[in-house]
Homo-oligomer: A and B are copies of this chain.
Amino acid sequence: MPDAYFLLEEHYHKLARLEHALTFLQWDHMVMMPPGGSEPRSKAIAELTSLHHEFLTSAKTGDLLQEAAGQATTPSRNRSLQEMEQEYQRAICLSPELVKAKSLAGSKCEHDWRNQRKNNDWPGFLKNFKEVVGLAQEEAQARRDFTPGRFSTPYEAMLDLYSTGDSNSFIADVFTKLKHTLPGIVQQVVDKQKGDPIPDLQGHYPIDQQQLLNLELMKCLEFDFDQGRLDVSSHPFSTGCRGDQRITTRFRETDFFDALLATAHETGHAGYESGLPLEWDGLPAGSARNLCIHESQSLLFEKQIFLSRPFISFFSSRIHTFFPTTAPIDGSQLWAAATRVQPSYIRVEADEVTYPLHVILRYEIESKLINNFIQADDIPEIWDGKMQEYFGLSTAGNYRDGCLQDMHWTDGSFGYFPSYTIGALNGAQLFAAIRRAHPDWQEKLADGDVNFIRNWLRKTIWAKGSTMDSQDIIRSATGESTNADYFLQHIQERYIDELY
């Protein structure tokens, strides 16, 4: 008779195979599918999602988890069991009625939002959004109540879905420091850059050549094309499974740089996924730890490697070979263009210096909203106040470029935003550790060598999967818990001292 843990592994492998199917059906949906496929695809995805939920929340899972918990086993199996238990609890703590209502309200709100944003229609949006907020509050409450004492507020239970293991008080502390430091730094950088000429990179860059250029960048970043591919979608993303990483980017004929940034970013996500521990493949312990670490990998590839002076000098010489009819690109000019800082309305277009302030603004609003200290109606006024405070910009009456700009809240993904900034801090902190371990890092990047970085990350981050808590991973890699110091040092070095 096989033991309960062994049976649990079989059970979770089955779940992983359903997740595999869902992953690639969704990739196809975003990248390949013609419009006519929409209805049958949605039905197939809903069917598999519901089968997955059924298996995960079955009495069998609960019974096996209980049985396995009572059996003596190894520490690594205990860890694996703990991650299985967490996945199970996250699924079983919500009633099927709530899950369904949430999915319906979220789909409607997101669908209508696309036009409401265009039309600056806050009152129209608010009608759907109140329903989404109400259900999200219910969800947050149910998640908190399911493990009494674990989360101090309902919002923290939502936050934990994305920033798993990084507590709300920890994140709040880090954000407080950034919030008080960054506006002054932004002002300093803006003043410093005021006199600099803005290099003009606009031109005509044929898409098929851009495609080749992005493949070249992936090659330079050591992406393995036997284990993945690059495609095009309206918003860049990364998905796939071990052995088959699918990343996407998007092209504009007048600009080649944005696509490269997206490609470098998604190559980082793909690197993490490709290096997850083989011995826990298909099990919760073998999954990516949390979004704060996932985003640290993408930002490390995008901001720390690709945007670094030595790498961009190395790579800029290649760019010209793909666009022989346009003038050669000068590495320092490209770097100057890519490191311009400017307070602005739109988060996704923000530079890395102002970006955290966009995130903190959202965090401050969504945490109060989910914990019921403010109402959905209050958001535009609070948004405008914070925009004035952090950026000196007003969004009064301008919902389109204010609280209607993001998709995250429309389907109830409250708690997602903080991972972008904790990811940026992790990325800078990890890169600082890599620099300490490889004092010749600049020479290496100038030669286009990134393997020393991949190897370091593979060992310290990727291979850990979810076999440790997030801060244990960060501490074992860098010697410290996540903090703002290395990010602020990076901003100082790049934007004030103009070193790298």
Which residues of A line the B interface, CB within 8 A?
A: 14, 17-18, 20-21, 24-25, 28, 32-41, 43-44, 47-48, 51, 224-229, 240-244
Contacts and interface: CB of A to CB of B under 8 A. Distances in A.
Contacts of A226: 34-36
**Secondary structure of the A contact surface, majority rule:** helix
Nearest to A17: B47
A341 to B, nearest CB: 39
A40 B20 contact: yes
Nearest 10 interchain pairs by C-beta: A37-B244, A36-B243, A36-B227, A17-B47, A20-B44, A17-B44, A40-B241, A21-B21, A35-B226, A21-B44
Given A47-B14, A48-B21, A40 B229 contact: no
The copy count of this chain in the complex is 2
B41 A20 contact: yes
Nearest to A242: B40
Contacts of A51: 51
A319 to B, nearest CB: 23
A227 B228 CA distance: 27
Contact of A244 (B21, B34, B225, B242): B34
A231 to B, nearest CB: 8
B225 A37 contact: no
A14 B37 CA distance: 17
Contacts of A35: 226-227
Given A34-B227, A36-B226, 13 more contacts: A17-B43, A18-B47, A20-B44, A21-B25, A21-B47, A24-B25, A25-B25, A28-B28, A34-B226, A34-B228, A36-B243, A37-B227, A37-B241
Contacts of A227: 34-37
9 contacts: A17-B40, A24-B24, A34-B227, A34-B229, A34-B244, A36-B242, A36-B244, A37-B227, A40-B241
